[in-house]
Amino acid sequence: GGGCILQQYSSLASALQSIYPEHSWEQVSIRTRTPSEHWKDVGNQRALFDQIARKFQISDPQEWRQVTYKQLTDAGAWPVLKLYPSIFSCLERIYPEMDWDISTRSQVPKNYWKDPSNQRAFLDKFAMKYDIKEPCDWSSITYKQIATEGGQSILQQFPSLFAALRALYPKREWDVNTARSK
């Protein structure tokens, strides 16, 4: 058979790349063994995930939310994924320059929403989205709106939205008469 040919190369992958240079041989598409330390290198991880991003036509970090764990493992990412506790911790490490908004995840680290700075960051983002500039602007906002945007865990820690706003923005003047109750 082809044993004599393969003896001239260090691996099947290098043989295929040499014999068929016109074909684009991507690391993940060639089922070969990689050195044990290969996937510990973030550069190698990034090369793999760049390739997967092209496969799934991902151009924005938020689009990774559409890709399932199974799709990633089917695409050859299992050796990388097993190094991290979650897909997003993997992505954060591989693409540190990206803005990974942790607050938009379906699961955040334990006690994340108990931290007032995270609560304020969420409400600041909410205020920008809904063009809230003055304390009285919050009077038109409902509990349901904030919950729908992902703030239910925050609101559950306070008896009302007004109480949350007063606690998180103590330097602001809050008029109890214009505040909406829960």
Q: Taking a C-beta distance cutoff of 8 angstroms, is the pair 126, 146 a contact?
A: yes
Predicted pLDDT at 3: 63
119 and 74 in a single domain? The answer is no
The whole-angstrom separation of Cα 7 and Cα 161 is: 71
Overall domain count for the chain: 3
- Per-residue tokens: 133: 């500039």
92 and 74 in a single domain? The answer is yes
Q: Taking a C-beta distance cutoff of 8 angstroms, is the pair 36, 82 a contact?
A: no
Predicted pLDDT at 116: 92
Residue 135 covered by a domain? yes
147 and 92 in a single domain? The answer is no
Residue 23 covered by a domain? yes
Q: Which domain holds residue 142?
A: 112-168
43 and 85 in a single domain? The answer is yes
Residue 55 covered by a domain? yes
What predicted TM-score, i.e. pTM, was given to this entire model? 0.52
22 and 78 in a single domain? The answer is no
9 and 29 in a single domain? The answer is yes
Residue 175 covered by a domain? no
Residue-wise pLDDT tens digits, 116-155:
988 998 999 999 999 999 999 999 999 899 988 889 999 9
Predicted pLDDT at 13: 66
Predicted pLDDT at 47: 93
Residue 106 covered by a domain? no
Residue 132 covered by a domain? yes
> Which residues of the chain are under the pLDDT cut of 70?
1-6, 9-14, 24-33, 102-107, 177-182
Residue 152 covered by a domain? yes
* H-helix segments, 30-115: 42-55, 69-74, 78-81, 87-94
Residue 64 covered by a domain? yes
79 and 39 in a single domain? The answer is yes
Predicted pLDDT at 28: 47
Predicted pLDDT at 182: 46
29 and 63 in a single domain? The answer is no
